[in-house]
């Protein structure tokens, strides 16, 4: 477990403005019922950690929030816009929602800097000079400004994931989604990525993070959500969640994950 | 405590480096390898001298007619005498400078693309692909700026070969990319079906029938009095035919791009065309450069088939010259020359593709 577990709880910067709302969301892959009646409200600045056993639908749920997956029933409202099949609205929401993937998904054919300026230039129509300034600023914040001219394939996993975070931040999103950002990394690289995420959390970003890094959950999460078989089984603030889980399945999951 | 003494650096054993080492590793590693080396050497020694003798040492290069050819070797006088028709077909000799100008300018325009520091590659490439063909056509055809008109029926020789190949490549690639994208657009079944039908139709027929139909059958379906240029019909036929092949090559590349690349582009809000144009296609096309160049080379050689609709590209002009009573019996020289010209172009394309692959290599994936 990363060292962040011992750090002090970061101050919360929540407000009452609702950023993400899922109402009675259901999703099927063919006949397989992946998401079952998901209800979730995330307010501005809230930091949410989602955990649960493999195959429980965590990735599917957060991928529905930026419409990488389509839901079939219920409502998803992101930053005041409802997700429907309207392409304009989907693109609008994707501009506001950054996503970091387990396998980084950097674009290997262009340099790190190009990775970062591409979306701001083509989607936000930002002039190159301004986009590069912003990109260098974020690359500095994730502590790899000196790698800007390299290609992704020349970086370590941890460096690549930090580039991926910087690339998302360059679009100046209001919400960040993380799908197991550290689970493809070697142990010594996990900390460097988590540190960046903690810093981001402290800056007041609204975040939903699927992760099994319980130390991270304890330090920065405002709320921990436990999912199993497509449902949200339990949610609570981290202290209560870890020390006093209400549901049998949560207890079982926590005992497995904390005692290995 | 024993002191650590680093092992001294030693030169590699003499038998593994230098000429001897190279020979041993590459030519005489094991008895089978040695046997093959000896056999190959024997072939070269027996076949090469007569060949060189025929082509160079006892060949005739200068002269006016077949009477100059009495040394017993190749009669390059034939090629020499007919060289301009091999290059320009029936294009009037006084106007041949127009063809030279077109291809010379093209070479000049393309040369900056090979320099690393040149900054306007995209603009120049766009100009060459989208603007220059029209200028070239205007020059070649004439009828403006006081240039006399030269009918397309008079175009021929190597310049026609290059024209057919260049137009075929330039038009087939974008068309093929669109078809490949269409075939993969599972969320638009109508578009997808149309692309599949198109590709499978054109891949299912031989090019020779396409050309034949374009020149014999098409006029039957056109209304009375409407005719369009034979060359144009051949060009359209070749382009549609090659685009189907290109589509399948490009589709292979698209399939090799991991799903995560599409998702990352989507998550950044790039939208379909930017996702394809900036992220997916640059990577997919890079992967299939060998396949694309392979298709180009096949296309280049397939241009010889236009002879069946009466267009005489270089091979056609050579055959035409062979029918000349003054030059009967020099078919070997004619075909060897044609093969050599084709080989030069195809081999250059192949080398270019290898250079491009190396240049575009940006390290490991992921
Ligand atoms: N494209 C798909 N088609 C069909 N089934 C899928 C697809 N993607 C995921 N599933 C199934 O949906 C279920 C939920 O998958 P999901 O990826 O959301 O799980 P997860 O909670 O993120 O698991 P993990 O911790 O392993 O990442 C799994 O049982 C999976 O097999
Ligand atoms: Mg997952």
Q: Residue A13: what pLDDT?
A: 61
Do B291 and B249 form a contact (C-beta atoms < 8 A)?
Answer: yes
- CA B362 to CA B283: how far, in whole Å? 11
Average confidence (pLDDT) over A15-31: 91
Which of B127, B155, B183 finishes a domain?
Answer: B155
Could you report the per-residue pLDDT of A116-128, keeping only the tens digit for each? 999 999 999 999 9
Q: Are residues B122 and B175 in the same domain?
A: no
Average pLDDT over residues A75-90: 91
Q: Is residue B246 situated within a structural domain?
A: yes
Question: What's the pLDDT score for residue A38?
Answer: 94
**Which atom of ligand 1 is the closest one to the Cα of A63?**
18
- Residue B175, token pair as written in the block: 């068309």
Q: Does B99 share its domain with B208?
A: no
pLDDT at A14: 64
In the reported structure, the alpha carbon of residue A210 is separated from the centroid of ligand 2 by a whole-number distance in angstroms of 8
Q: Categorize the per-residue pLDDT at A56 as very low, low, confident or very high, splitting at 50, 70 and 90.
A: very high
Query: A62: Cβ below 6 Å to ligand 1?
Result: no
Contact B366 A95 (CB under 8 A): no
On whether residue B7 sits in a domain, the answer given is no
Closest-CA residue of chain B to A100: B264
Q: Give A85 Cα–ligand 1 centroid separation in angstroms.
A: 22
- The reply to whether residue A68 touches residue B267, judged by beta carbons under 8 angstroms, is yes
Long-range contact set of residues B279-285: C-beta below 8 Å, sequence gap at least 24 = B279/A107, B280/B254, B281/B177, B281/B254, B282/A109, B283/A107, B283/A108, B283/A109, B283/B253, B283/B257, B284/B250, B284/B253, B284/B254, B284/B256, B284/B257, B285/B177, B285/B250, B285/B253
- Is residue B193 located within the same domain as residue B332? yes
Query: Cα–Cα distance between B49 and B58 in angstroms, integer?
Result: 11
B35 domain residue, yes or no: no
Going edge to edge, which strands form the sheet with A47-51?
A: A97-100, A175-179, A206-210, A47-51, A223-228, A231-236
Q: State pTM to two decimals.
A: 0.85
pLDDT for B226: 67
Task: For ligand 1, say whether the CB of A257 is within 6 Å of any of its atoms.
Answer: no
pLDDT value at position B221? 75
Domain membership of residue B58 (yes or no) is no
Distance CA B156, CA B160 (A): 5
Q: Which of A65, A97, A108, A163 to mutate to test the interface with B (most CBs of B within 10 A)?
A: A108
Q: How many domains does one find in chain B?
A: 2
Provide the percentage of residues in chain A whose pLDDT is more than 70. 94
Which residue among A29, A103, A208, A232 is best mutated to probe the pocket of ligand 1, counting the most ligand atoms within 8 A of its Cβ?
Answer: A29
For residues A50-74, give the mean pLDDT.
94
The per-residue pLDDT of chain A, averaged, comes to: 90
CB B362 to CB A153 under 8 A? Answer: yes
Residue B254 lies in a domain: yes
Ligand 1 centroid to A230 CA: how many Å?
10
Q: B135 and B212 share a domain?
A: no
Ligand with an atom nearest the CA of residue A50: 1
Using a CB–CB cut-off of 8 Å, the residues of A that contact B are 66, 68, 87, 91-92, 94-95, 97-99, 101, 103-110, 118-119, 122-123, 151-154, 160, 167-168, 171
CB distance A103–B366 less than 8 Å?
yes
Q: Pick out chain B residues at pLDDT < 70.
A: 1, 224-227, 362-366
Q: Are residues B203 and B345 in the same domain?
A: yes
A94 with B263: Cβ contact below 8 A: no
| A171 contacts B267? CB cut-off 8 A | no
Residues of A in contact with B273 (CB under 8 A): none
Two structure tokens written together for B112: 């900056």
Of B183, B172, B192, the closest CA to residue B245 belongs to B172
Set of chain B residues whose Cβ sits within 8 Å of the Cβ of A118? 268, 270, 278
Q: Which of B105, B135, B155 is the last residue of a domain?
A: B155
- Could you say which DSSP state residue B27 is in? T
Selecting from A119, A153, A154 the residue whose C-beta is nearest the C-beta of B269 gives: A119
Contact check, Cβ <8 Å, A108/B266: no
**Is the per-residue pLDDT at A18 higher than 50?**
yes
Best residue for ligand 1 mutational test, from A28, A57, A180, A210 (most atoms within 8 Å of Cβ): A57
> For B268, which of A92, A119, A153 is closest by C-beta distance?
A119
Determine, for residues B269 and A171 on separate chains, whether the beta-carbon distance falls below 8 Å. Answer: yes
- With CA atoms as reference, the chain B residue closest to A125 would be B270
Nearest CA-CA distance, residue A151 and chain B, Å: 7
Determine the 3-state secondary structure of B13 from DSSP: coil
Q: What residues of chain A lie within 8 A of the CB of B285, using their CB?
A: none
CA atoms of B182 and A115, how far apart (whole Å): 27
Choose among A87, A101, A118: nearest Cβ to B278: A118
Is residue B52 domain-resident?
Answer: no
Ligand number nearest to the C-alpha of A68: 1
Q: Looking at residue B199, which CATH number applies to its domain?
A: 1.10.3720.10
Of B121, B136, B155, the last residue of a domain is B155
Distance A58 CA to ligand 1 centre (A): 8
In this structure, the answer to whether residues B260 and B248 fall within a common structural domain is yes
pLDDT band at A8 (very low <50, low <70, confident <90, very high): very low
C-alpha dist (Å) from residue A54 to A50, A58, B175: 12, 8, 44
| Distance separating alpha carbons of residues A22 and B181, to the nearest angstrom | 34
Residue A5 pLDDT level (bands cut at 50, 70, 90):
very low
Pair B198, B325 in one domain: yes
| Residue B132 and residue B209 in one domain | no
Is residue A6 pLDDT above 70, yes or no? no
Same domain (yes/no): B236, B161:
yes
Q: Is A60 in the pocket of ligand 1 (CB under 6 A)?
A: yes
Which of A19, A20, A67 has the alpha carbon at shortest distance from A39?
A20
**Cβ contact B363–A167 (<8 Å):** no
Q: Which domain holds residue B260?
A: 157-220+230-366
* Residue B19: inside a domain: no
| The pLDDT of residue B255 | 94
Section A196-214 average pLDDT: 93
Same domain, B94 and B183: no
The reply to whether B354 and B248 lie within a common domain is: yes
Give a yes or no: residue B11 inside a domain. Answer: no
Cβ-Cβ contacts under 8 Å, B279 against chain A: 107
pLDDT digits (tens, 9 = 90+) for A124-168: 999 999 999 999 999 999 999 999 999 999 999 999 999 999 999
Which H or E run contains A188?
Answer: helix A187-202
B198 and B145 both lie in a single domain:
no
CB A88 within 8 A of CB A61: no
**Residues of B at the A interface (Cβ-Cβ below 8 Å)?**
258, 260-261, 263-271, 274, 278-279, 282-283, 286, 360, 362-366
């Amino acid at each position: 477990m990363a060292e962040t577990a011992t750090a002090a709880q970061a101050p919360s910067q929540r407000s009452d403005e609702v950023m993400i709302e899922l109402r009675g969301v259901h999703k099927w892959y063919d006949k397989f019922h992946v998401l079952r009646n998901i209800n979730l409200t995330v307010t501005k600045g809230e930091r949410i950690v989602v955990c649960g056993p493999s195959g429980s639908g965590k990735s599917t749920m957060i991928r529905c929030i930026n419409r990488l997956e389509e839901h079939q029933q219920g409502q998803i409202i992101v930053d005041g816009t409802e997700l429907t099949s309207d392409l304009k609205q989907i693109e609008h929401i994707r501009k506001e929602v950054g996503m970091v993937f387990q396998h980084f998904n950097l674009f290997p054919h262009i340099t790190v800097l190009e990775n970062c300026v591409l979306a701001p230039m083509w989607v936000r129509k930002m002039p190159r000079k301004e986009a590069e300034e912003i990109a260098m600023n974020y690359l500095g914040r994730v502590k790899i400004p000196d790698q800007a001219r390299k290609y992704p394939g020349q970086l370590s996993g941890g460096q690549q994931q930090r580039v991926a975070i910087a690339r998302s931040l360059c679009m100046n999103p209001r919400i960040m989604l993380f799908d197991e950002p550290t689970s493809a990394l070697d142990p010594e690289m996990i900390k460097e990525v988590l540190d960046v995420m903690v810093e981001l959390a402290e800056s007041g970003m609204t975040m939903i993070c699927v992760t099994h890094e319980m130390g991270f959950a304890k330090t920065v999460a405002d709320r921990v959500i436990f999912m199993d078989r497509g449902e949200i089984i339990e949610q609570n603030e981290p202290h209560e969640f870890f020390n006093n889980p209400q549901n049998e399945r949560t207890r079982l999951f926590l005992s497995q994950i904390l005692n290995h | 405590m024993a002191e650590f003494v680093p092992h001294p650096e030693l030169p590699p054993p003499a038998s593994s480096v230098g000429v001897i080492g190279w020979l041993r590793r590459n030519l005489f590693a094991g008895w089978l390898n040695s046997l093959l080396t000896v056999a190959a050497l024997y072939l070269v020694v027996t076949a090469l001298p007569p060949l060189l003798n025929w082509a160079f040492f006892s060949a005739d290069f200068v002269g006016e007619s077949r009477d100059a050819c009495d040394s017993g070797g190749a009669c390059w006088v034939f090629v020499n005498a007919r060289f301009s028709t091999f290059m320009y077909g029936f294009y009037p000799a006084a106007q041949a400078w127009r063809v030279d100008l077109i291809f010379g300018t093209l070479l000049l325009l393309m040369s900056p693309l090979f320099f690393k520091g040149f900054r306007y590659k995209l603009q120049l490439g766009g100009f060459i692909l989208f603007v220059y063909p029209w200028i070239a056509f205007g020059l070649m055809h004439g009828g403006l700026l006081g240039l006399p008109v030269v009918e397309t029926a008079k175009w021929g020789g190597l310049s026609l070969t290059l024209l057919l190949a260049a137009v075929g490549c330039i038009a087939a690639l974008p068309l093929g990319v669109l078809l490949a994208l269409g075939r993969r657009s599972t969320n638009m079944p109508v578009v997808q079906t149309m692309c599949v039908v198109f590709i499978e139709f054109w891949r299912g027929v031989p090019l020779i029938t396409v050309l034949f139909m374009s020149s014999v059958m098409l006029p039957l379906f056109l209304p009375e009095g409407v005719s369009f240029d034979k060359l144009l019909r051949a060009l359209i036929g070749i382009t549609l035919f090659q685009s189907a092949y290109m589509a399948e090559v490009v589709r292979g590349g698209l399939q090799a791009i991991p799903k995560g690349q599409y998702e990352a582009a989507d998550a950044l809000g790039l939208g379909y065309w930017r996702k394809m144009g900036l992220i997916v296609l640059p990577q997919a096309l890079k992967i299939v450069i060998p396949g694309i160049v392979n298709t180009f080379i096949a296309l280049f050689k397939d241009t010889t088939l236009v002879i069946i609709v009466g267009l005489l590209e270089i091979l056609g002009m050579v055959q035409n010259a062979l029918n000349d009573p003054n030059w009967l019996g020099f078919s070997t020289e004619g075909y060897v020359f044609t093969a050599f010209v084709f080989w030069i172009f195809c081999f250059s394309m192949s080398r270019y593709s290898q250079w491009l692959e190396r240049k575009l290599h940006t390290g490991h994936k992921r």
